[in-house]
Amino acid sequence: MKKILMVGMHDGYASMFRNDRDLELYVLEEEALYKKNSAAYESYKPAGILLTKYQQSDDFRAAALQWHREIGFDAVAPAWEYGVHASGVLAETFGLRSPGRRALEACTDKLVLREMLSSTSIRQPRWARVSSVDDVARFHRGTPIILKPSNRHASVGVIRVDDAAHIADAWQECVTANESRTVADRPRAVELMVEEFVPGYQVSVETLVRDRKVVFDNVCLMLTAGGPYFPILSVTVPAPIPSHEYEAAVAASHSLVASLEVENGMIHSEWKVCDSHPYLIESAARVPGAFTPELAEKAYGGFNMYRAQVRNLAGLDPLLPGPERSIASVRWFHPPSGKLKAIHGADALEADPAVFLRRIKIAQGDEVPVCRDGWHRIGYFAAHAPTKRELDATVSRILETVVFDMEPSANS
């Protein structure tokens, strides 16, 4: 049995570990995050838990090394974005498989990523590091730009600015953006960047690398909220896009993997396809979120991305799938901000046989804020069908049936 050290933990990985007898779970976690919901961590039934600082801290190194001497881990993997750095450092320290130092540096800081790729053929938007409102104003040329932190996730602090008159307000909103679910409760160093807005549609590519060779690719179609904010509102697997653009996205991901000298692991990259050309938006050295693995499991007939990542890092067969067999999509509900008066038709989520995941997080009387990032989303459903036509029909039916009756708030 392979002993796997997960930096952080969530239900997707936990479910996989419960069903794979080749793997034994150990968890390294921030004490503050553990204390928020210790029962959840215990329910994962790990063989051991180590509480130590790892987010923008080196405290984890000595304690984890001592633990490794006692346990003898076979792989280290991150559950969330903020565990990528620590998991890579530990894998390298223990002499285990990892994405490699160059890939880890690029995939945990968007500024480093941009700089590393500046001399390659990979298309990127015009970009700059910024440290003041004046820097952003100098970058703006009258067309839409994106202001964002270089080292956050879930679209936290990402803001589109069309008019120069709005730059100061966008700056204030960006620098004060915060999150709590996966972040330790201590100050976090954040750098900011700005880049040109690239029109077109958005995709992600999940590329699994084993001993510097690509062994699996998947392309997702993504939909964001539009307007000034970019929470993901839809993911579809596999992407129902023209074949030449699907192939272009895969080729772009392969170029990224080569440029970053990826050794082992999954690279999840996001691209805007403009005039059939992919432009790199960002990249992560981990399994994607937004229920992409759960969608892939349906579309590829049981393939589990969590399992593939961990088994690959542990030197086991990642159990790769054949071609996709069907199509699956997740949609987040996106009502206007305000006070929720009632939800109509929610029973359709339970009744529809095509729906396999569902959750509504709000109830009558709750205040619904403007959906600025992934943590502000109020509910979702995921559906699966043999064909895109059938999937589209299901999604349309649910969106027409489940209605959020909102009362505008005084300041909306």
In the block, residue with structure tokens 């160093």: 189
Q: Which residues of 278-307 are buried (b: 16+ CB within 10 A; e: fewer)?
A: bbbbbbbbbbbbbbbbbbbbbbbeebbbbb
Tally Cβ neighbours within 10 Å of residue 166: 15
What pLDDT is recorded for position 408? Answer: 87
Which residues on neighbouring strands pair with residue 213, listed in sequence order?
Answer: 210
Edge to edge, the sheet with strand 367-368 lists 367-368, 338-344, 403-407
Q: Indicate the SS3 state at residue 18.
A: helix
Spell out the domains of the chain, with CATH numbers in brackets. Answer: 2-96 (3.40.50.20), 126-197 (3.30.1490.20), 327-407 (3.30.470.20)
What pLDDT is recorded for position 258? Answer: 98
Between CA 384 and CA 391 the distance in angstroms is: 6
Beta-strand relationship, 192-196 and 127-130: antiparallel
In the block, residue with structure tokens 């910024």: 130
What pLDDT is recorded for position 124? Answer: 98
Rounded CA Rg of the chain: 21
Please, are residues 197 and 272 in contact by the beta-carbon 8 Å criterion?
Answer: no
| Residues lower than pLDDT 70 in the chain | 180, 410-412
What pLDDT is recorded for position 411? Answer: 57
DSSP class of 304: -
Distance of CA 298 to the CA centre of its chain: 19
In the block, residue with structure tokens 């223990």: 94
Between CA 173 and CA 228 the distance in angstroms is: 11
The amino acid at residue 233 is L
Token readout for 9 is: 């933990």
Between CA 255 and CA 249 the distance in angstroms is: 10
What pLDDT is recorded for position 154? Answer: 80
What pLDDT is recorded for position 410? Answer: 64
